A and B are shown apart, each in its own frame.
Chain A
């Protein structure tokens, strides 16, 4: 193992601002709105959304990164809200299932899920939808095998998978067939 070299940037002393461990004011941008709440730094984005902001569309399945029920977007990328701390999302754009529809008009993916009967109990559905819309933007919906692989982060215990894929195919084809970002 090589030894240490002379350092270029001396480490600064512990000069970082410390927040918590008690409640601190955290300001989040959620679905385009600024929301302020008082939470401890240990609170997950998932709990903050559900318990503080009453945005209960995002679901808690496993709470350990293994199911995808809590999928939301942070800075337009799909992520897991259960393994994200709310406080770490300051200055980032959070989007949840509640922001997907335009007023009373469902997002095409929501409509396609309804038409294709793409859920049974519905518990995984908000996460499936947030993933499915992101999937099309990422351009990973070329064929069924690709959809299956790139939707594998969302478990459905009711096994609605074939219908979920049908809904995604329909929206992909309506959008021009490629599944690439447009």
Chain B
């Protein structure tokens, strides 16, 4: 790791002012991405601004009936928050299926959205990687790409977005609250994650020094019947090969409301809108679920070793939807 200087700040204004004034600085939250990437020279800031003392750690009720997750709320705390567990179970489940108990005690929800990809070439400074070093090519295209994306890829980058909770947040149309040198803004979460396109180095629309202060969950009754299904190489402490966040309402055998997003298979947390269109109003049966999965995956592009993910995702979608429908039907 390169030498760094360190500042610990106690208020939002100083945090933003300090980082935005120094192009070679970065925020330090839980450090589980930041320290890791600095140690392997993938990120090389000269100064860290520790934001752990900022008063942004709580989960609060919003006037409209939604919930605000403080940007610095720890994954472990949010996952056990009764209002989250009761009203947005898939958010709690996605958090608990991520990383490990120790990492979740450290990691913040804002940091989770900001985590970088796990592509092994991105993490190897000797390898060509358009995301880490624009213009150096993508080593994963013809390389070890078993974990890479089949949706949202470009010829520049095929890395999977690694977050679990972001998948649930995308399904819910959460809103990212930020504050930066230019003021505050509210960013719909689907706009917060950028497709790689020709500029894989740009992953989000934040400016340098712009702080994620919170994540708002809208009031959504359907979210109370939701779940997160995660398939991985081992049972725990592993990133997703395929994951599904689903919230569903069923009445009289038909789907009356559906929210669906995919993880582990796309370059951004993937809202499955094509599948939602098929499911909306359709009978809650295997035939609809299969057609929905196939509609979503029609645009999937395999890259050698990750071709299995298309079938895996289809099956995971059908299973998640069927289990959800069964639970809803018998509820």
Residues of A that sit less than 8 Å from B by CB: 1-22, 40-42, 44, 63-65, 68, 71, 77-80, 83-85, 87-88, 90, 131, 134-135, 138, 140, 148-150, 152-155
Cβ-closest chain A residue relative to B46 = A21
**Are A79's CB and B35's CB within 8 A?**
no
Contact A65-B18, Cβ < 8 Å, known A20-B3, A88-B28: no
From A16, A77, A153, contact of B14 by CB (8 A): A16
Closest Cβ of chain A to B25, distance in Å, is 9
Sample 14 A-B pairs with CB under 8 A, ordered by A number: A2-B187, A7-B184, A14-B18, A20-B5, A21-B5, A21-B46, A41-B3, A42-B2, A68-B100, A83-B36, A85-B31, A138-B101, A148-B235, A152-B101
User: How far does the Cβ of B229 sit from chain A's closest Cβ, in whole Å?
Assistant: 16
CA distance A3 to B207 in the complex (A): 13
Q: Is the CB of A11 within 8 A of B17?
A: yes
Interchain CB contact under 8 A, B100 and A42 = no
Q: Which residues of A contact B30 (CB under 8 A)?
A: 83
What A residues does B205 contact at CB under 8 A? 1
In the complex, the answer to whether A2 meets B186 with C-beta atoms within 8 Å is: yes
Complex CA–CA separation, A154 to B102 (angstroms):
9
Closest 3 CB pairs of A and B: A153-B100, A152-B236, A41-B6
B106 near A88: Cβ-Cβ < 8 Å: no
B1 at the interface (CB under 8 A from A): yes
Known: A17-B7, A65-B36, A152-B235. A85 touches B28 (CB 8 A): yes
Measured CB to CB, the closest approach of chain B to A126, in angstroms, equals 13
- A21: chain B residues at CB < 8 Å are 3-5, 46
Pairwise interchain contact A78-B49, C-beta atoms closer than 8 A: no
B 6-38 binary contact with A (CB < 8 Å = 1; else 0)? 111101111011101110000010111001101
Question: Would you call B28 and A5 a contact (CB within 8 A)?
Answer: no
B115-153 interface mask toward A, CB cutoff 8 Å, 1 = contact, 0 = none? Answer: 000000000000000000000000000000000000000
- For A138, the chain B residues whose CB sits under 8 A away are 101
Q: With the chains together, A117 CA to B191 CA distance in Å?
A: 53
Whole-angstrom distance from the CB of A88 to the nearest CB of chain B?
Answer: 5
Whether, in the assembled complex, B231 has its beta carbon less than 8 Å from a beta carbon of chain A, the answer is no
Q: Are B8 and A88 in contact, CB atoms less than 8 angstroms apart?
A: yes
- Who on chain B is nearest to A134 by CB? B101
* Complex-state Cα separation, A3 to B188, whole angstroms: 11
Q: Report chain A residues within 8 Å CB of B298.
A: none
Q: Interface 1/0s, chain B 44-59, versus A by CB < 8 A?
A: 0011111010000000
Checking A19, A78, A152 against B5 with a beta-carbon cut-off of 8 angstroms, the contacting residue is A19
Q: Report if A80-B102 is in contact (Cβ < 8 Å); known contacts: A5-B184, A11-B20, A87-B6.
A: yes
- Minimum CB distance partner of A13 in chain B: B17
Least Cβ–Cβ distance between A62 and chain B, in angstroms: 10
Q: A17 contacts which chain B residues (CB < 8 A)?
A: 7-8
**Interface check B182, CB cutoff 8 A:** yes
Chain B hits for A13, CB < 8 A: 17, 21
CA–CA, A17 and B179, complex, Å: 22
Q: Beyond A11-B209, A14-B17, A77-B76: 5 further Cβ-contacts under 8 Å? A: A2-B186, A19-B5, A41-B48, A83-B36, A134-B101
- C-alpha spacing A145/B38, complex, angstroms: 35
> Are the CB atoms of B31 and A153 closer together than 8 Å?
no
B20 partner residues in chain A, CB cutoff 8 A: 11
Q: Is there an interface contact between B46 and A80, defined as CB atoms closer than 8 Å?
A: no
Report the separation of the CA atoms of residues A80 and B236 in the bound assembly, to the nearest whole angstrom: 17
Q: Which of B8, B31, B48 contacts A83 (CB 8 A)?
A: B31
Contact of A12 among B4, B11, B103 (CB under 8 A): B11
Q: B89-119 vs A: 1/0 string, CB under 8 Å? A: 0000000000111110110000000000000
Contact with A along B233-254 (1 / 0, CB 8 A): 0011100000000000000000
A152 and B100 form a contact (CB under 8 A): yes
- A40 & B28 in contact (Cβ 8 Å cutoff): no
Contact in complex: A153, B39 (CB < 8 Å) = no
Contact A83 B32 (CB under 8 A): yes
Minimum CB–CB distance from A81 to chain B (whole Å) comes to 10
Q: Which residues of A contact B187 (CB under 8 A)?
A: 1-2
Does B185 sit within 8 A of A, measured CB to CB?
Answer: yes
CB distance from B41 to the nearest CB of A (A): 12
